[in-house]
């Protein structure tokens, strides 16, 4: 069942507030369809924004990175971060340059992230991240070695303070511009996987897995 969350002062949408969405299920759907999150944090007074992979399990985001990452090196004690995910659905072409826009869905999550220290939870978290990117791959591929686990840091972020923002529909022009003779409308954009390209050193007889040939980003939220 979908649950609405009251926005905090930090997550309430101020610009174009009618586009703000505070429904947890709607936010989960955007997170589950996205590929890359951008993690913002401040270190020694300097802001950083880092793109990285992630996965969601119920009300928790797991974020992957190298143990050498300057952000993740400080995560064991807890670090305040901002995580954003954006999906671009179309270019909105108006009659005036000023009114051009984009159709999109985005989520912002704020909170304090902590490092996953327990070995079994780290493995589960990496499984969640792997299945988020390509469901089914984790069970096919070689599992991480102890050295690889030590070289990898995973942080967890509770999805407690969040908001989504969504723009859909046609261009919105100034009334006097509707008589301007120029095409206006929406150019939809979609994620379309191409044909898989087998590695040149693939063992003889290996076929492309079904989870690759039938790949889709339309995922079921849980």
- At 71 the pLDDT is 66
- Structure token pair of residue 122: 């780290």
> What is the Cα–Cα distance from 181 to 104, expressed in whole angstroms?
27
- At 220 the pLDDT is 46
Whether 93 maps to a domain, the answer reads: yes
User: HEC string of 53-97?
Assistant: EEEEECCEEEEEEECCCCCHHHCCCCEEEEEEEEEEEEEEECCCH
Q: Which of 19-23, 46-50, 56-60, 210-214 has the lowest mean pLDDT?
A: 19-23
| Angle, alpha carbons 18-22-23 (nearest 5°) | 120
Whether 38 maps to a domain, the answer reads: yes
Whether 37 maps to a domain, the answer reads: yes
Whether 96 maps to a domain, the answer reads: yes
Whether 4 maps to a domain, the answer reads: no
Say which CATH number the domain at 208 has: 2.30.110.10
Whether 1 maps to a domain, the answer reads: no
Whether 3 maps to a domain, the answer reads: no
pLDDT (mean) for 13-30? 88
40 strand-pairing partners: 49, 82
> What is the Cα–Cα distance from 94 to 60, expressed in whole angstroms?
39
Tens of pLDDT, residue by residue over 146-194, are 999 988 889 999 999 999 999 999 999 999 999 999 999 999 999 889 9
Number of other residues whose CB lies within 10 A of the CB of residue 56: 23
Total number of domains constituting the chain: 1
Whether 5 maps to a domain, the answer reads: no
pLDDT: which is higher, 6 or 138: 138
Parent domain of 92: 17-174+184-213
- At 221 the pLDDT is 46
- At 2 the pLDDT is 57
- At 21 the pLDDT is 84
Q: Is 160 left (phi over 0), alpha (psi -120 to 50) or beta?
A: alpha
pTM score? 0.89
- At 1 the pLDDT is 46
Tens of pLDDT, residue by residue over 80-139, are 999 999 999 999 999 999 999 999 999 999 999 999 989 999 999 999 999 999 999 999
- At 68 the pLDDT is 59
- At 79 the pLDDT is 86
Tens of pLDDT, residue by residue over 28-72, are 999 999 999 999 988 888 898 999 999 999 999 999 877 656 666
């Amino acid at each position: 069942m979908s649950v609405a969350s009251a926005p905090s002062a930090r997550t309430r949408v101020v610009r174009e507030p009618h586009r703000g969405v505070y429904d947890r299920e709607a936010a989960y759907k955007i997170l589950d369809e996205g590929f890359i999150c951008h993690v913002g944090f401040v270190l020694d007074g300097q802001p950083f924004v880092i793109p990285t992979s992630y996965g969601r399990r119920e009300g928790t985001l797991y974020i992957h990175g190298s143990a050498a990452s300057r952000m993740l090196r400080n995560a064991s004690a807890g670090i305040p971060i901002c995580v954003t995910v954006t999906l671009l659905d179309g270019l909105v072409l108006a009659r005036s340059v000023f009114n051009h826009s984009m159709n999109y869905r985005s989520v912002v999550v704020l909170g304090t992230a902590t490092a996953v220290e327990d070995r079994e939870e780290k493995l589960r978290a990496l499984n969640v991240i792997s299945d988020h990117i390509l469901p089914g791959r984790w069970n096919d591929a070689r599992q991480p070695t102890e050295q690889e686990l030590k070289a990898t840091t995973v942080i967890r972020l509770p999805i407690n303070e969040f908001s989504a923002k969504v723009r859909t529909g046609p261009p919105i022009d100034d009334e006097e511009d509707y008589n301007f003779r120029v095409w206006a409308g929406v150019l939809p954009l979609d994620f379309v996987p191409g044909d898989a390209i087998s590695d040149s050193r693939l063992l003889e007889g290996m076929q492309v897995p079904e989870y690759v040939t039938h790949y889709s980003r339309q995922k079921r939220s849980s």
